[in-house]
């Protein structure tokens, strides 16, 4: 029994070690990713629930590492945040997204900003500067933040968002409903859009709580004059349910997966002539 116990500890130590090694490899790889041209933005359409027109595109980062292959942003973004690399990567994302969106003059581009990137940097200066350079009007740019961006310095965050909003940038609260203080965030921060997290959409037709919760969020948003994007819409049944509930915008694999810029342009053209 003692032996088994020791083995277990050994195995545990080894997996910790593997984790750490993989982390270091990701960090080392990431620090070369920009110069090595290993980063790419993919785009996923956001659909107007009433007209079914394409309202915007969310930029989602992809990394194909020479050493590690394709790594998910769910894995490397947190590591980039902790190592501080998120600043340079985030800056690259903003510049690239603002250049790319010149290809679709009707729609907005939505850019994810991590908490670490948002705090302690002059986001107003950065976004404004890059938008001016690319010649993109501010109202065609949405930023997506989660409420973790508000924790460190709530007053500073509210000021930054207010300044961006008054310049015309759209502000979306991402992953709504998954944090600890969603209502507090809605009350205290200037917003234009609420994005209902995919986990609520997944429950539609399966869990009795899903529809009433989504309906409540939609009413809350409407009362505050905000738009609502439902994330992760995968089925026709979900789409119908969300439209019946009055959801203003829809996003998910049902319409399109995130695709490279050239693929999304082809997709857009085909859709507009259909
Ligand atoms: P997020 O901002 O909540 O993005 C939505 C995620 O859901 C994306 O995963 C998207 O590909 C996925 N998704 C969209 N529709 C569907 C669907 O119908 N079904 C399913 N199963 N998934 C769907 P992705 O691209 O892997 O990104 C994961 C997370 O990484 C993002 O979550 C975001 O937090 C972060 N991220 C991605 N790109 C960036 C970036 O440029 N900057 C920052 N700071 N974070 C980023
Ligand atoms: Ca997002
Ligand atoms: Ca989200
Ligand atoms: Ca998310």
- Condensed to tens digits (0 to 9), the pLDDT of residues 129-164 reads 999 999 999 999 999 999 999 998 999 999 999 999
Q: How confident is the model at residue 18 (pLDDT cuts 50, 70, 90)?
A: confident
Ligand closest to the CA atom of residue 93: 1
Judge contact between 229 and 55, C-beta under 8 A.
no
Helix (H) or strand (E) holding 3: helix 2-33
What residues flank ligand 1, with Cβ below 6 Å? 44, 59-61, 72-74, 77, 93, 112-114, 174-175, 231-234, 252-253, 258
Per-residue pLDDT reduced to its tens digit, 19-73: 899 999 999 999 999 999 999 999 999 999 999 999 999 999 999 999 999 999 9
Q: Helices 73-83 and 86-100 meet at what angle, rounded to 10?
A: 130
Please say whether the beta carbons of 65 and 38 come within 8 A: yes
Tell how far the Cα of 191 is from the centroid of ligand 2, in angstroms: 14
The label of the residue with tokens 């930029």 reads 59
Ligand 1: residue of 63, 64, 73 to mutate (most ligand atoms within 8 A of CB) is: 73
Minimal-distance CA residue to ligand 1 atom 12: 232
Q: Which of 70, 112, 148, 239 to mutate to test the pocket of ligand 1 (most atoms within 8 A of CB)?
A: 112
Ranges of beta strands (E only) in the chain are 39-48, 54-65, 69-71, 108-112, 141-145, 170-176, 193-196, 227-230, 249-250, 259-260
Closest ligand 1 atom to Cα of 72? 26
pLDDT tens per residue across span 155-186: 999 999 999 999 999 999 999 999 887 899 99
Residues bordering ligand 3, an ion, CB closer than 5 Å: 174-175, 231
CA 214/CA 209 separation, integer angstroms: 9
Mean predicted lDDT score pLDDT of the chain? 93
Query: What separation in Å is there between the alpha carbon of 34 and the centre of ligand 4?
Result: 23
Is the model more confident about 7 or about 122? Answer: 122
- Return the ∠ at Cα 268 (arms to 264 and 273), rounded to 5°: 150
Using the predicted structure, report yes or no on whether residue 2 has a pLDDT greater than 70.
Answer: no
- pLDDT at position 12 is 60
ipTM: 0.98
Question: 52 — alpha (psi -120 to 50), left (phi > 0) or beta?
Answer: left
What is the per-residue pLDDT for 239? 97
Task: Give CA torsion, residues 223, 178, 167, 142, to 10 deg.
Answer: -110
């Amino acid at each position: 029994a003692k032996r088994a116990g020791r083995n277990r500890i050994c195995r545990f130590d080894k997996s910790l070690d593997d984790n750490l090694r993989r982390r270091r490899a990701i960090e080392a790889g990431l620090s070369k990713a920009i110069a090595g041209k290993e980063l790419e933005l993919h785009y996923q359409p956001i659909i107007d629930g009433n007209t079914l027109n394409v309202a915007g595109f969310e930029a989602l980062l992809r990394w194909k590492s020479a050493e590690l292959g394709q790594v998910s942003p769910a894995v490397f973004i947190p590591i980039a945040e902790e190592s501080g690399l998120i600043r340079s990567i985030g800056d690259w994302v903003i510049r690239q997204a603002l250049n790319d969106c010149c290809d679709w003059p009707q729609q907005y581009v939505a850019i994810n900003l991590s908490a670490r990137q948002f705090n302690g940097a002059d986001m107003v200066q950065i976004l404004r500067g890059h938008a001016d350079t690319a010649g993109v009007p501010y109202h065609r740019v949405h930023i997506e933040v989660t409420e973790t961006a508000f924790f460190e310095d709530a007053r500073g965050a509210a000021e930054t968002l207010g300044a961006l909003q008054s310049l015309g940038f759209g502000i979306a609260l991402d992953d709504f409903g998954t944090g600890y203080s969603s209502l507090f965030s809605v009350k205290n921060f200037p917003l234009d859009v609420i994005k209902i997290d995919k986990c609520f959409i997944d429950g539609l037709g399966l869990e009795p709580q899903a529809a009433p919760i989504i309906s409540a969020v939609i009413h809350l948003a409407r009362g505050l004059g905000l738009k609502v994007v439902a994330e992760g819409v995968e089925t026709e049944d979900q789409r119908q349910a969300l439209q019946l509930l009055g959801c203003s915008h829809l996003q998910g694999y049902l319409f399109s997966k995130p695709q490279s810029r050239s693929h999304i342009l082809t997709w857009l053209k085909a859709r507009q002539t259909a």
